[in-house]
Amino acid sequence: MKHLQQNQEFRLNEILFENRNKQYGAYVLRNESDRILTKSLFIGVSLLAAISITPMIISTFRTVEINERDFTPVPPVMIDVEKKDPPAEVVPPKTVTPPPPSVRQYDSQVVTPTRDADESKIVKDIPKDAIAGVKNDFIAPPATTINIPTTIISGPGTITPPKVTPSTGPDNSVKEGGELSVEAQFADGIESFRNKVMNKFDNSDFESDYVMKTTITFIVERDGTISGIKADGKNLDFNAEALRTIKSIKGKWIPGKNKKGEAVRSYFKFPISMKFDN
């Protein structure tokens, strides 16, 4: 097929350049155009490949020179180790040195009390210039200098803090939600409680085309009573009537229980919504 096309082009060239100078450059270029294009294609691809591979070859054979002058040593990391002071030297307490014989003294030793104790050696009238000693000697002249230590130096000791026993009294905190295994409930059932609220609610003073809402929150105590009743509605009169209604309902509540099955104080929420016809 290609040979046929080349023959057709050759015939076309012969027709175009019939009776013309075939030595003219255009005739030669038209006959050799395919060969020139193919040669140019291979040359272009070869040059592109050489340009692409040259940087890779250069980087492969190039050695990296390390300049020692540009190297900056990393400063050492100083770890501050806290030095503990050596324990203080324990100095035993000094004993009381009995005064010399030339000093007035009185017997300051404490006698062990017994049933038949000898009180004859107990001296009640002690001279003012006498000092504590090991015997009663009021004849010697008064002492001039006495080495009696005034302080006792001792080493560090460990003081054991008193043991605090936690209180085992009842838990008075108020539980709610995930802290309860069983929620508090009205003894006769929640439907009975709802019916009592509807029957005791006085709606004679309310006229409104829209629904009035409030949520009553109170605490169910461990003994089944309720306390801390609150209302969070927007209408103050509606809140007041809702509080009065809840307080007027008689009946016991079953308290909620914690995860251990113990009766605890817990919150209970009761929503109220009403629409009054004019």
**pLDDT recorded at residue 36:** 82
**pLDDT recorded at residue 143:** 47
Q: Which of 211, 92, 77, 87 is nearest to 154 (CA)?
A: 92
Higher pLDDT, 93 or 181: 181
As a whole number of angstroms, the distance between CA 261 and CA 265 comes to 13
In the predicted model, is pLDDT for residue 8 greater than 80? no
As a whole number of angstroms, the distance between CA 192 and CA 180 comes to 23
Residue position matching structure tokens 């030669």: 28
CA dihedral 29, 34, 35, 39 (to 10 degrees): 110
User: Pairing mode, if any, of strands 131-133 and 105-107?
Assistant: parallel
Task: Please give the mean pLDDT across all residues of the chain.
Answer: 75
pLDDT > 90: percent of the chain: 20
- Tell me the domain boundaries of the chain: 2-48, 95-111+122-145, 174-274
**pLDDT recorded at residue 175:** 87
pLDDT in tens, 160-219: 666 766 656 677 888 887 888 889 999 999 999 999 998 988 888 887 777 889 999 999
In the predicted model, is pLDDT for residue 67 greater than 60? no
Q: Where are the alpha helices (DSSP H) in the chain?
A: 2-16, 25-31, 33-61, 190-200, 236-248
In the predicted model, is pLDDT for residue 91 greater than 60? yes
- Mean pLDDT for the stretch of residues 149-166: 60
Most confident option among 1-10, 196-205, 244-253: 244-253
Judging by beta carbons within 10 Å of its beta carbon (0-12, 13-18, 19+), is residue 264 exposed, middle or buried? buried
**pLDDT recorded at residue 69:** 58
**pLDDT recorded at residue 191:** 92
pLDDT in tens, 212-243: 899 999 999 999 999 999 999 888 988 999 99
0.85 exceeded by pTM: no
**pLDDT recorded at residue 95:** 60
Residue position matching structure tokens 């009537």: 241
**pLDDT recorded at residue 204:** 80
Element (H, E) at 23: none
Confidence of residue 77 (pLDDT cuts 50, 70, 90): low
**Worst-scoring range by mean pLDDT, 3-12, 53-62, 100-109, 263-272?**
3-12
Q: What's the CATH number for 174-274? A: 3.30.1150
**pLDDT recorded at residue 229:** 92
In the predicted model, is pLDDT for residue 267 greater than 80? yes
